[in-house]
Amino acid sequence: MSDWTNILVAAIAVTFIGLSKAGFGGGLGMLTTPLCVFAFGPKDAIGILLPLLCAGDAFSLYHYWGKWEKKNLVYLLPGVVIGVVIGVQLIGRFSPQQLQVCIGVLAVLFVVFQLVKEKIFQAEGAFSPSHAIGIPCGIGAGITSTFAHGAGPVVAVFVMPQKLPKEIYVGTTVLMFTCINWIKMPFFLLDRELTNLSVLVPHAIITRETLWLSLLFFPLVPVGVWLGVWLNRRFSERLFLRFVYVLTFLTGIELIFHSQLVKLLR
């Protein structure tokens, strides 16, 4: 792609952050990372997006402040920390092509999850969250969020069966994503060559270059939030979500096979 095409794809992806944080098009968040991978490559895309996601979280927290079940943090966050530590180690071991395949696979699995989640959670009654379930879910959320900022399905598996009111459910997930993103931040910033934490810290994922690009695209986050609020008032998102899921699936497939999955697995 040309430089201008890269910029356009990245701009659309960052705008999607604001849209999803405004509550329009719940699947948009998962599409953001694969699109940015096309523009910047897998590792840079992950580093560029984290500060922008934290900014988007701030807008969501303002809107849903206090409308959450805080007990979920107690059950999920210990596992999230473990998952993030595992995730940053795995990122350091994967080549850019392998990391690109992982992001593509997560994108495809996300779409599959969206298609089957209603059947998964049809069981009557709400379950009571616990550490026995929360820690494994937290580890999964930490790993998937580190690789592709894609913890949404794992968090949903833990929170949706609780049958929370819609606003409390959204507020709880907003709080969880905020905490997960800030837990990742020090691991993304530190570099093993500059610290004594060589076991825990890979080479920095957020660098001066990625941070500069984050700042460059930052104005599109509030624009996306405003657009999401406007769309929520005027349009049904059902057809839009179908379009998003198809695009996410196709993007994931492209990331997988463009990276020659069969050759990588030999």
Q: Inter-axis angle of helices 238-258 and 96-120, to 10 degrees? A: 150
Q: For 166-182, how does the pLDDT look when each residue is reduced to its tens digit (9 = 90+)?
A: 778 888 888 999 999 99
pLDDT for position 266: 43
Higher pLDDT, 13 or 22: 13
Q: Is the pLDDT of residue 265 over 50?
A: no
Report phi then psi at 67, rounded to 5: -100, 65
Q: Is the pLDDT of residue 54 over 80?
A: yes
The span from the CA of 239 to the CA of 182, in Å, is 33
Q: For 16-40, how does the pLDDT look when each residue is reduced to its tens digit (9 = 90+)?
A: 888 877 766 666 667 788 888 888 8
The span from the CA of 244 to the CA of 249, in Å, is 8
Higher pLDDT, 178 or 42: 178
Q: For 71-124, how does the pLDDT look when each residue is reduced to its tens digit (9 = 90+)?
A: 899 999 999 999 998 988 888 777 777 778 887 888 788 788 777 776 666 654
Beta-strand (E) ranges in 24-115? none
pLDDT for position 126: 54
Q: Is the pLDDT of residue 199 over 80?
A: no
Identify the sign of the CA torsion 90, 197, 58, 133.
positive
pLDDT for position 259: 55
127-142 core/surface letters (b: 16 or more CB in 10 A; e: else):
eebeeebbbbbbbbbb
- Confidence tier at 194 by pLDDT (50, 70, 90): very low
